[in-house]
Structure 1
Amino acid sequence: MQTIGLIGGMSWESSSVYYAALNRGVQQRQGGLSSARTLLASVDFAEVTALQEQERWDDVATILSDAARAVERGGADFLMLCTTTFHRVATQVQDAVDIPLLHLGDVIADACAAQKVSRVGFLGTTFAMSRPFFTDHLASRGLAVHLPAREAHAELNRIIYEELVRGQVKDASRRFVVSLIERLWDDGAGGVVLGCTELELLIKQADSELPVFPSTTLHVAAALDRALA
C-alpha cells in the first residue's frame, strides 16, 4: 500500500471527511483491521483565507508547498490537496515536490467521461465559481461548465462558510442548493459537480435528478485506486 500525503486544514471539517473516507475505503477494500497509510500536514485556515482575500497567492503557494515538502519528506508516495479553492496554486505545489499531485480536476473529468456527461453544473465557493482556475481545468478536459447565476453566489458562499464549515446542516440551505441544481439543469447541464467538500454534507444523489459528482468522494476513490494498485 502506498502512503497518501494530505494537505489539509481548509477547512479541518473537510480534512476530517477525507481522513475518515480514506480509512473506511481501505477497510472496505482490504477487510479486517486495515486502514490507510497517510501523512497529513494541516495548515491554519484563517491564515490562508486571509491571504486569499488579499490576493497574496504567492504566500499561499509558499505555505502549501512547505506542507507538501513536509509530507514528501515523511515518505508520502503521492499528494492530495484536500480543498477545491486552493487548487488555485496546484501547479506551484506540484512544482515544489517530486511526488505526483492527484489533481481534483482530473479526477472529476474522468468521472464525468465515465458517465458520458459532457456538460456539468459547478457549485463551490464564490472564489471557485468566479475565478477560472478550476473551471478552465475542467474545460481543458473537454467539459462545458455551467455556473449558477451570480446573484446566488453570495448565499451559497454563506452556507459553506457560516454553516457547513461549522458542521451545521440545515434543511433550508439544502432546498436552496437543490433549486440551484434545478436551474443548472434547465440551462443544459447533464450533471452537477459538488466542488466543495462541505457541500457533500448537504447534498446527496437522492436530492437531485441529475447525476451528482461529489468531488471529495471521487478524489478519495481515485486515491484509493492508486494507493492500493
Structure 2
Amino acid sequence: MAPDAQVVVLVFAKAPIPGKVKTRLMPSLDAKQACDVHVALLERTLAVACRAFSPARVQLWAGLEPTHPTLEALAACHGIARHAQSSGDLGRRMHAALCAQQGPALLIGSDCPVLTPILLARCARALVDHDLVLLPAEDGGYALIGGVRPHCGVFEAIEWGGRDVTAQTLERARALGLHVACPETVWDIDTPRDLERWRNLDDST
C-alpha cells in the first residue's frame, strides 16, 4: 500500500491556558484574548486535518494540561484520538509522537492558518518517494514535518524557536542521507503582525 494511503496526521497543541499560550501576541492582546486566538487556530487546524483525512487518521497530541476540558471537547467533536505529549524539549516530544505510529505520519502545529486539505494531501503524497517532508515557515521554523518512519537525528541539536530550525533540520537530514520534499513555504501566527495578516486573509475570502 502506498504511504499516502495510510498516513496519519498528528496535531500538536498546548492546552488553552491564559498566559501560557500565544504570549508573543501580548501586550497587544490580553492573556484571555491571546488564548482565544489559540483556540480558534486549533479549531481551524483540526477541521482542516479532518477534511484532508478521515477522523480515524487524525490525532490531537496535547501539552501543558492534556485533559483540559476544551481539548477533550474538541477531540470528541471531531471524533479523533487524544494523547498526552511526552516530556522533554520539542524535538523529543515530536519524535516520541511519531515513534508511537505504526506507519507514515505528518506532524503539524496548530497555528498555521494557510494549511489546507489540498496542501496536507500533497505532503502525504510526497512520502511516496521521499523519506521526509517539511513545510518551511517564513520565520525559519516549519509548520509540518512528516516521514515514512521517524528519524531521531533530525530532531537533535536543533535550536527550537530560533530562525534556523528548518536549515538545521535539513542539515541533519542530509547527513542521514534522507530524501526531503518541501512542497511549499508557509507562515504561522506568532506576532501581532501575523494576527493582522490572518485577519486580512479571512476578510479577503
Q: What is the TM-score when the length of structure 2 is the normalising length?
A: 0.40
Q: More helix by proportion, 1 or 2?
A: 1
Q: Larger radius of gyration, structure 1 or 2?
A: 1
